[in-house]
Amino acid sequence: MEENDQPYNIFRDQKFWDALGGTEEDDALADFRETDAGAPYMWMLGRIILDFNYAEHQLKALFWGYFSDSFEAGHALTTALGSTTVTAILRDAVKRSGEPQEVLKRIDFAGQAFDICRANRNALAHSMTVERYDDDSSVWIRASRKLDYHQTQMKITLKDMFRVSREVAETARFILALQMRRNMLIRGSNVLPDLPDYYEKPTRLISKDINLANEAKKLGLHPSGE
């Protein structure tokens, strides 16, 4: 590849749009997700989802360590359980296990941190579309739990995405440290690693509910478009 050559991008290939019956201007490149400015957001979204999957796996592995020393048996226990249920049962199991209070405190912290990471991951991953807000931020839009003509929006910057990614990774490492310590205890190790240090608890992304009917009325339009 020559120094000034750009990697092939199907969205900039006119043959692609000819086959679809459209043009670059009125098809995918009109969507913020397919622009050069939107690409970093999509990359970070993928990273957040993968890191969260890892954190969720470690949480369930920690759960297995308090109910069974068999991977297969532990996996069977969590297959039908959601993460919220796993977190609640895990806390009760740790209390009954006779673990030191400092372990229980860290389990509580891990559960709270994980819940926030899950809420942020879901808010991003369940968004239906992403639009440019300004040069430094984007708007993530998903369906609202309220009545028709409502949607939930979040104003997100790349800095926000990196923060969420970092928080998910830190939570995964914290849970992994607890899980490894539990495994060593089960195996009868006489020397256990130190408990993981606390870190700054994750923070939820801010979202707001938008009444599209009201917004349409401000423009003198009927919400149905009539």
What is the phi/psi pair of residue 208, to 5°? -140, 150
187 vs 91, 182, 183, 191, 212, CA distance in Å? 21, 9, 6, 11, 58
> What is the rounded average pLDDT for all residues in the chain?
80
In angstroms, rounded to a whole number, what is the distance separating the alpha carbons of residues 58 and 42?
A: 25
Higher-confidence residue of 187 and 2: namely 187
Asked whether the predicted pLDDT for residue 144 surpasses 60, the reply is: yes
- Identify the pLDDT of residue 28: 47
Checking if the pLDDT of 22 tops 70, the result is: no
What stretch of H or E contains 156?
A: strand 150-157
State how far the Cα of 13 lies from the Cα of 6, in Å rounded to an integer. Answer: 12
The two structure tokens encoding residue 135: 């040069």
Q: What are φ and ψ of residue 221, in 5° steps?
A: -115, 155
Q: pLDDT-based confidence at 150, cuts 50/70/90?
A: confident
CA-based angle 21:25:30, to the nearest 5? 105
pLDDT of 5: 61
Half-sphere exposure of 179 (CA within 13 A, CB side): 20
Nearest to 67 by CA among 78, 79, 56: 78
154-190 pLDDT, tens digit each: 999 999 999 999 999 999 999 999 999 998 988 888 8
Q: Is pLDDT of 23 > 60?
A: no
Residue 65 has pLDDT above 90, yes or no: no
Q: What is the pLDDT of residue 67?
A: 75
Q: Is the pLDDT of residue 10 over 60?
A: no
- Within a 10 A sphere around the Cβ of 66, how many other Cβ atoms? 19
The SS3 call for residue 154 is strand
Token pair recorded at residue 58: 């470690």
The per-residue pLDDT for range 85-126, each reduced to its tens digit, is 777 788 888 888 888 999 999 999 999 999 999 999 999 999
pLDDT band at 48; cut points 50, 70, 90: very high
pLDDT of residue 50 exceeding 60, the answer is: yes
